[in-house]
Amino acid sequence: MRGPRYFSLSLREVEWASGEAILLAYRVLNGEDSVGVFEPGEFVLFWVPGLEAIPLTPLYAGERAVVRFYVASRGDTSGRVVVQPPVHAGMIGPLGRGFRVGAGVSRAVLVAGGTGVAALSTLSMLLRELGVRVTVFYGARNRSLVPPLDSIVYSDKTVIATDDGSVGLHGTVVDAVKRYVELVADAELVAAAGPPPMLCRLGMLLESLGVDWESVAFSVESYVKCGLGFCGRCSLPCGSNHLLCREGSFVSGGLLQCWLRSVCGEYAGG
């Protein structure tokens, strides 16, 4: 298993920007041969000089010495990155454990909200390599927040939804999934990433469909501090020993059901 290490980064390109989010490509300056391809569920701590490090999920890059990130303004560090991308930065990774696709998967549905699509990027490419037919549902508030999806995720079919209807279907990404619910029923894998309210609403929909939770995986978020499993800050509820920095961000089966019960109470009416 690859262990985490520090990499120095130099900004190569701003691929896309909206004012509230940005798509960046960085060149790795040291240990290029050690970076490799990130696996689904792995992430890094991205360090901006003078600010705190933040957890980010690298996108599929297609080049060994390049890492790509999709960042939205959510705090001091991410806000600075969106407005003024650092020319020089650093990262520690990979953190977490790669997600494994089970045998017999021929059809998959990926559901993403906002920057959650980053967590599904490498998964979609893995599914392509395995010959899996992939449908991607993507939701954003409006047209300006829809990134160039074809450079982030692989899909055979893409359905976009925006809250204001400025592009794609009018409504949330979960509303879009409801319109194509037969695709979910036929899929052997349903994976999702996005803000907790979205995941909660999707979880309620999947529960109503009677899905096999072993075939469902959500990429969930938790506060990450040390990134190495020492502090325990990124542990999930339910009394589990699942630390995101060690086990990765994807959760499935009974642990996912428990996460939904623990987190989603305040969103139950949404």
Asked, for residue 100, whether it belongs to a domain, the answer is no
In the chain, the amino acid numbered 221 is: E
188 and 91, same domain (yes or no):
no
85 and 154, same domain (yes or no):
no
DSSP 196-222: HHHHHHHHHHHHHHT--GGGEEEE---
78 and 127, same domain (yes or no):
no
**What pLDDT digit, counting tens, does each position of 96-145 carry?**
888 899 889 999 999 999 999 999 999 999 999 999 999 999 999 999 99
SS3 141: coil
Answer whether residue 191 shows pLDDT above 60: yes
Asked, for residue 219, whether it belongs to a domain, the answer is yes
- What is the percentage of the chain residues whose pLDDT exceeds 70? 90
111 and 57, same domain (yes or no):
no
The predicted structure's pLDDT at residue 269: 40
180 and 123, same domain (yes or no):
yes
CATH number of residue 202's parent domain: 3.40.50.80
* Structural domain ending residue among the three candidates 70, 95, 120: 95
129 and 221, same domain (yes or no):
yes
Asked, for residue 101, whether it belongs to a domain, the answer is no
88 and 163, same domain (yes or no):
no
The predicted structure's pLDDT at residue 193: 96
CATH number of residue 47's parent domain: 2.40.30.10
* Structural domain ending residue among the three candidates 67, 95, 123: 95
The predicted structure's pLDDT at residue 229: 61
Least confident among 62-66, 69-73, 194-198, 223-227: 223-227
163 and 130, same domain (yes or no):
yes
Residue with tokens 């036929």: 186
- Reported as a pLDDT band with limits 50, 70 and 90, residue 259 is confident
Asked, for residue 257, whether it belongs to a domain, the answer is yes
**CB contact at 8 A, 54 and 77:** yes
81 and 129, same domain (yes or no):
no
90 and 114, same domain (yes or no):
no
**What pLDDT digit, counting tens, does each position of 21-40 carry?**
999 999 999 876 666 678 99
**What is the number of domains present in the chain?**
2
pTM of the model: 0.92
The predicted structure's pLDDT at residue 98: 87
36 and 113, same domain (yes or no):
no
DSSP 51-103: S--EEEPPBP-SSTTEEEEEEE--SHHHHHHHHS--SEEEEEEEES----PPT
Asked, for residue 44, whether it belongs to a domain, the answer is yes
| CA dihedral over 116, 157, 172, 218, signed as positive or negative | negative
* Structural domain ending residue among the three candidates 95, 130, 146: 95
Answer whether residue 1 shows pLDDT above 50: no
Range of the domain at 240: 107-267
251 and 213, same domain (yes or no):
yes
Answer whether residue 270 shows pLDDT above 60: no
Report how far apart, in Å, the C-alpha atoms of 76 and of each of 1, 54, 85 are: 33, 10, 13
The predicted structure's pLDDT at residue 268: 46
Residue with tokens 């390049």: 66
